[in-house]
Amino acid sequence: MSGAAPFAPGVHILLDLHGAVMLRDARRMEAALRGAAKAAGATVLSCHLHGFGEGSGITGVALLAESHISIHTWPERDYAAVDIFMCGKADARTAAEYLEKVLEPQRVERTEVLRGQEVAGAV
């Protein structure tokens, strides 16, 4: 079928957030991950965050029916790494925009990849 968009089962977005808020607060960060999933139209299956102690960062993941959102923070560097992968009707871009708004970073670096993309002639 000529002119059809290539098949890609999911969108994978990597966010580097510099100068964001809530980098030490696992409870509020869980709410942010759940909010991002909801905004994207995704279904949260489970969510688990772990804080590394007073003043330290957190790591966590929201496991979604449509894949996942994960975060790792380094408050001592004012930095958070976010990984969003969604397939189906869920919108990873909307999840990214939600987190960018809620976490209020001073600077964002966004990388987007269409995963599993079929390329004509590829082996």
Question: pLDDT for 92-101, tens place per residue?
Answer: 999 999 999 9
Share of the chain above pLDDT 70, in %: 89
What's residue 6's pLDDT?
62
Q: Decide if 87 is catalytic.
A: yes
Task: Tell me what the mean pLDDT of segment 40-48 comes to.
Answer: 98
* Confidence check: pLDDT of 9 > 90: no
User: From the candidates 2, 18, 67, 70, which is the catalytic residue?
Assistant: 67
Residue 1 banded pLDDT, cuts 50, 70, 90: very low
Strands (E), the chain: 10-18, 44-51, 58-64, 67-74, 79-87, 107-115
The pTM of the full predicted model, rounded to 2 decimals, is: 0.88
User: From the candidates 47, 68, 70, 72, which is the catalytic residue?
Assistant: 72
User: Domains in the chain and their CATH numbers?
Assistant: 10-115 (3.60.90.10)
Higher pLDDT: 103 or 118? It is 103
Phi, psi of 56 (to 5 degrees): -100, 175
What's residue 115's pLDDT?
87
* Confidence check: pLDDT of 120 > 70: no
Sign (positive or negative) of CA dihedral 111, 20, 62, 57: positive
What's residue 118's pLDDT?
72
Name the residue among 76, 79, 75, 70 with its Cα closest to residue 107: 79
Q: Decide if 70 is catalytic.
A: no
Entry field: residues in the chain: 123
